[in-house]
Amino acid sequence: MKKIILAVAIIAVFAMVTAPLGIAHINSVGTNNDLQIDPVSSEIATSQIDNLSKIAIVNIYSTDTDIKQIVEDISPNEILAIDSSTLSEFSINEGATVKEALYNGIPLVISGDSTSLMTIKGMSLVMNENADATAVYCDPVTKVIYYLSVESENNAEEIATEWIQSKMNETSGLSADSYGDVVVSEGWRYCQDTTKLNVSTVYEKLGEGNGKKFYAVKYGLQSVPTTDYRTADMTISCDVKHLNSIQDLISYAPTTTSGTSSVSVSLSLSASDSGVSGGVSKSWGYSVQDVMVNDRSDLSTDHFETFHDIDEDKNIGTVTYMINPGMLVSVSAGSQYYSEDNYQITQRIPYNHTWVWDPYYSYPVFDMSLRVLLDA
């Protein structure tokens, strides 16, 4: 049996909000049959964390069978936080308990590799094996599922907690008929001191027909360069069949461009081709001023890849810039859409030019890979 350590942390005040927020931590699993107060760790401890006020933590030891009761006792203004190594050992029933809590609006923060989310069955997931922390929030009103993956930050859990608070207090304009129909995947990677890589991608189920389920993917990759550094290239790619051979890349946009200032993305399903009643379409656009889009996709191999070559000597290379390509995919109706989306930013940074043959710049590459499982 495994030992569970539950730490209920009550956050007195958020610097950015007025409502208090608590954190309940399940750290490990054990064999005790009754709730017991540890004589040492039951003492209340306080600490100062960036952007948060004092946190009071009470550690309680419990058993597997107490997880359901623990989750049921969490109030709507608290957060469930689980270490990835513990979550990976959860049983099917324990995973179902966490899923139920999420669907009831209780947020979740995971420390470390978030592929441990696979223990939660029957739910759409976004996972990152390189994550320092992952946050999950299911909006009980709109039925939209939100994920945030944080990389390369020492205070990743606090960042994830603040993000949850912001999601609970914002209106995104998105809505779904049921959980899993709309999933928002966000990612933040702090790339040394040269840039910040941000991901904001929306997966939306368009319907079912002819034995298939159809999804529209609106990608979002943002580069935020710091002073003296410039964005050179941005790439998004996905091998659609890599993790599930019974899914297909149907269409995508944009294709290769040259000399244009904006592009439009239009993804549509006709009723006759898809069997989806009435057909459906999604469209949007974004700026490519001083940017050349290179289409590296291949429909014959179900490979999607778009490369944005940015003129880093122009203003576009020095400012925050986001690209929003998209694709339309399908998967057999009895299966789940499962893929890995890869995001990449190339920066141009000054090189310590010592010798005449030394280059003036170096071009470090920063990336983030997110696995997406759509179960709707």
CB 310 within 8 A of CB 291: yes
Q: What's the average model confidence in pLDDT over 240-249?
A: 95
Whole-number Å distance between alpha carbons of 369 and 238: 10
Q: What is the mean pLDDT of residues 137-157?
A: 92
Q: Is the pLDDT of residue 353 over 80?
A: no
pLDDT score of 51 more than 50:
no
How confident is the model at residue 23, as a pLDDT?
A: 55
For 338-357, give the DSSP string: EEEEEEEEEEEEE----STT
Chosen CATH of 192-376 out of 2.40.10, 2.60.40, 3.20.20, 3.30.1120: 2.60.40
Question: Residue 317: what pLDDT?
Answer: 95
Among 233, 223, 216, 222, which residue's Cα sits nearest to residue 294? Answer: 233
CB of 294 within 8 A of CB of 227? no
User: The dihedral of CA 246, 219, 199, 177: what is its sign?
Assistant: negative
In contact, 374 and 337? CB cutoff 8 Å: yes
Q: What is the pLDDT of residues 195-229, one digit of tens each?
A: 899 999 999 999 888 889 999 999 999 999 987 88
Of the given ranges (60-74, 77-91, 104-118, 306-320), which has the lowest mean pLDDT? 60-74
Percent of the chain residues past pLDDT 70, beyond the cut: 81
- pLDDT band, residue 150 (cuts 50/70/90): very high
Mean pLDDT of 264-275: 82
Q: Average pLDDT of 270-291?
A: 85
CA distances 350 to 295, 310, 317, Å, are 29, 17, 14
Sign of CA dihedral 137, 138, 139, 144: positive
Task: Please give the pLDDT value at position 71.
Answer: 74
Q: Is the pLDDT of residue 16 over 50?
A: no
d(CA 332, CA 187): 28
Query: How large a percentage of the chain has pLDDT more than 90?
Result: 54
Q: What gap in Å lies between CA 63 and CA 41, rounded to an integer?
A: 17
Q: In terms of residues, how long is the chain?
A: 376
Domain limits, the chain: 1-136, 192-376
Mean pLDDT of the chain: 81
Helices (H), 19-73: 67-73
Answer yes or no: is pLDDT of 48 > 90: no
The pLDDT confidence band at residue 289, using thresholds 50, 70 and 90, is: very high
Which pLDDT tens digit goes with each residue over 17-35? 334 455 555 544 433 333 2
Radius of gyration of the chain (CA): 22
Give residues with Cβ within 8 angstroms of 334, minimum separation 6: none
DSSP string, 163-182: HHHHHHT---S---SSTTSE
> pTM of the full predicted structure?
0.84
